[in-house]
Amino acid sequence: MEFLGSQPTVDLTYADVFLVPRRSAVTSRLDVQLRPGDGTPATLPLVAANMNSVTGPRLAAVLARRGGLAVLPQDLSLAETEEAIRWVKAQPVAVDSPLVLGSEATAAAALRLIPRAPGQIVVIADRSAADVAAGRVPAASLRGILSAERLAAVPADARVGDLVHGTTALLALGELADPRLAFDAVVAATAGAAASDAEAAEAVGVIDGDALVGTLTRRSALRRTIYSPAVDGDGRLAVAAAVGINGDVAAKARALVAAGADVLVVDTAHGHQEGMLRALRTIGALGLGRPIVAGNIVTADGVHDLVDAGATILKVGVGPGAMCTTRMMTAVGRPQFSAVLEAAAAARDLGAHVWADGGVRYPRDVALALAAGAASVMIGSWFAGTAESPGELLTDADGQQYKESWGMASAKAVHGRFGGLDPYELARKELFAEGISSSKILLDPQRPSVEDLVDMITSGVRSSFTYAGATDLAEFHTRARVGLQSAAGYEEGKALPVSW
Ligand SMILES: NC(=O)C1=CN([C@@H]2O[C@H](COP(=O)(O)OP(=O)(O)OC[C@H]3O[C@@H](n4cnc5c(N)ncnc54)[C@H](OP(=O)(O)O)[C@@H]3O)[C@@H](O)[C@H]2O)C=CC1
Ligand SMILES: Nc1nc2c(ncn2[C@@H]2O[C@H](COP(=O)(O)O)[C@@H](O)[C@H]2O)c(=O)[nH]1
Ligand SMILES: [K+]
């Protein structure tokens, strides 16, 4: 990366800078390759943050299916994390995991599972209690597929079993191996289907033997032709898991890898501290054979010390997070663009990589983090406002759907993490909150799914690469030319939703 004009003398964040277009030989945005090349199985430079309001098994599976990676938070118990990893590993790679409801469920119950928005579907099946407990969906129990659009048009207490009409097209998983042919198969199977529920009519059930294993819509079949899933050595969806720096770090790291975690993230607010170095040496000595991400840091010194202790990827960012009050509480941190730039340069010299963590609100911020040298970009709050994040889907007084988010150093998170301690120890921990305890993250009605956000972000970033004349991340790192802008320059870049 180079600066347009002279090297800046103050630290910068994403809003301070812009990318300059330059002569390009890349003729199509679809020729761009977004692999982070950081030693993880990810094929996209996107990571979902290890926050309780962001990453759960459902979001992890959906993101990995498109090539991103999600980090299960360290606040889940070991048993919960192992169960989450097992669930992700059991999900289909080529088709979507089915969201299943019994016929007796109401439309309101279905709309707590999926938002009232385009592209959202639910499977209706009459399963036995034993099948429900085992997570099995016998193909014979399938009653049909309903879209959120249809569910939103009926009374809240309508039984979903009464709403399914006609038969759902079924395709065998074995016939869907080739992504391009699978798209055609979905189109052929749904052509001319009854259109009382147009969106559901464009979805197929996918069976393997006598079990329903997934669904596929035209959109998900199209996505499959564009993205490559992030998978482990056995071809199962990849997932990362976080550990803190306290407690029996070795036992937890070993257990997470034994459960199938593909990447370990050692995470604490102040990553450049002895406790972190100790934890990294302990984990390194186990020889687990997994990429080790560590943070958070914002300096080249931090990179040197953490890599020396065994980290292969550095998580960079102190204070930029949407739920984060660290800068206002402590004055500590660093504007994120400069933090990533310095850390990435130091990491490159050591053969290590950087994840830019926090402060991403637009696709441009992802492009700029990559321009600064990051291999991948971690997103928290933005992904909290999606159908797949773990929180309950809520509706505010204006009818807008939202989910709650909170910081991992907030009083709420600290209370959850240390609730088992005696009251005195808990009270001491609660003195140091550095995050927001409750925030409302609206679902974008046009982009309710994390996949919709991935589409939006990657299309922006692919385009950034071609403006810079880069076909892959390594070229983007060298070809990106960055200029400084005023606040007015930044404002000028925004679209105008109403006239002035
Ligand atoms: N990226 C960011 O800007 C930030 C991120 N976070 C996130 O919040 C979560 C919780 O992290 P964390 O609060 O570190 O909790 P942890 O449970 O990981 O514990 C942190 C440990 O470090 C010690 N410590 C020393 N100095 C500090 C400090 N300045 N801030 C925090 N701990 C310190 C603590 O001791 P003692 O409690 O006795 O001081 C404790 O032993 C993590 O996911 C973290 O990434 C939190 C803040 C900033
Ligand atoms: N200082 C704090 N930082 C926090 C807290 N919870 C999470 N985080 C950090 O934010 C990023 C995600 O950033 P976002 O802008 O995408 O939401 C996350 O990965 C953490 O590093 C907190 O309570 N305090
Ligand atoms: K902030």
pLDDT tens digits for range 295-336: 999 999 999 999 999 999 999 999 999 999 999 999 999 999
Domains of the chain with bracketed CATH = 2-92+231-391+444-492 (3.20.20.70), 100-224 (3.10.580.10)
Q: Is 398 annotated as a binding residue?
A: no
Spell out the residues 6+ positions from residue 358 whose beta carbon is closer than 8 angstroms to its own: 49, 317, 319, 320, 321, 322, 324, 336, 378, 380
Q: Is 319 annotated as a binding residue?
A: yes
CA–centroid distance, 322 to ligand 3, in Å, is 5
CA dist., res. 327 & res. 13, Å (int): 14
CA–centroid distance, 297 to ligand 2, in Å, is 13
Closest ligand 1 atom to residue 74 Cα is 43
- pLDDT of res. 430: 86
Banded model confidence at residue 161, pLDDT cuts 50, 70, 90: very high
Neighbours of 321 (CB within 10 A): 28
For 257-277, the pLDDT digits (tens) are: 999 999 999 999 999 999 999
- pLDDT of res. 382: 97
Q: For the chain, what's the residue count?
A: 500
Question: What separation in angstroms does the CA of 184 have from each of 121, 187, 345?
Answer: 20, 5, 45
Ligand 2 site residues (CB inside 6 A) read 49, 51, 296, 317, 321-324, 326, 357-360, 378-382, 407-410, 434-435
Closest ligand 2 atom to residue 359 Cα is 15
Per cent of the chain over pLDDT 70 is 99
| From 249, 268, 277, 298, mutation site for ligand 1 pocket: most ligand atoms within 8 A of C-beta | 268
Spell out the residues 6+ positions from residue 400 whose beta carbon is closer than 8 angstroms to its own: 442, 443
Name the pairing type of β-strands 394-395 and 401-405: antiparallel
Task: Confirm if 164 and 124 have CB atoms less than 8 A apart.
Answer: yes
Q: Is 324 annotated as a binding residue?
A: yes
- pLDDT of res. 202: 86
Residue 193 has pLDDT above 80, yes or no: no
| From 313, 323, 383, mutation site for ligand 2 pocket: most ligand atoms within 8 A of C-beta | 323
Closest ligand 1 atom to residue 245 Cα is 18
Protein residue with least CA distance to atom 5, ligand 2: 407
Mean predicted lDDT score pLDDT of the chain: 95
CA–centroid distance, 324 to ligand 1, in Å, is 12
- Average pLDDT value for residue range 412-418: 90
Selection from 409, 267, 437 nearest residue 326 by Cα: 409
Q: Is 321 annotated as a binding residue?
A: yes
Eight-class DSSP state of 362:
S
- pLDDT of res. 420: 83
Residue 351 has pLDDT above 70, yes or no: yes
Neighbours of 62 (CB within 10 A): 25
Q: Residue holding tokens 């103050």?
A: 10
- pTM (2 decimals)? 0.96
Spell 475-489 as b/e; 16+ CB within 10 A means b. Answer: bbbebbbbeebeeee
Closest ligand 2 atom to residue 383 Cα is 16
ipTM score over 0.90, yes or no:
yes
CA dist., res. 158 & res. 101, Å (int): 13
Spell 171-195 as b/e; 16+ CB within 10 A means b. Answer: bebeebeebeebbebbeebbeebee
- pLDDT of res. 456: 98
CA dist., res. 470 & res. 82, Å (int): 40
Residue 463 has pLDDT above 70, yes or no: yes
Spell out the residues 6+ positions from residue 279 whose beta carbon is closer than 8 angstroms to its own: 243, 245, 249, 266
CA–centroid distance, 315 to ligand 1, in Å, is 14
- Torsion angle (degrees, nearest 10) of CA 451, 454, 455, 457: 160
For 7-25, the pLDDT digits (tens) are: 999 999 999 999 999 999 9
CA–centroid distance, 354 to ligand 1, in Å, is 20
- Average pLDDT value for residue range 292-296: 98
For 165-174, the pLDDT digits (tens) are: 878 899 999 9
- pLDDT of res. 195: 65
Residue 194 has pLDDT above 70, yes or no: no
CA dist., res. 474 & res. 491, Å (int): 30
Selection from 270, 238, 245, 260 nearest residue 43 by Cα: 238
Q: Is 300 annotated as a binding residue?
A: no
Beta carbon of 244 within 6 Å of any ligand 1 atom: yes
Ligand closest in space to the Cα of 358: 2
**Catalytic annotation present for 324:** yes
The two tokens of residue 377 are 């970009």
Beta carbon of 298 within 6 Å of any ligand 1 atom: no
Q: Residue holding tokens 């773990």?
A: 390
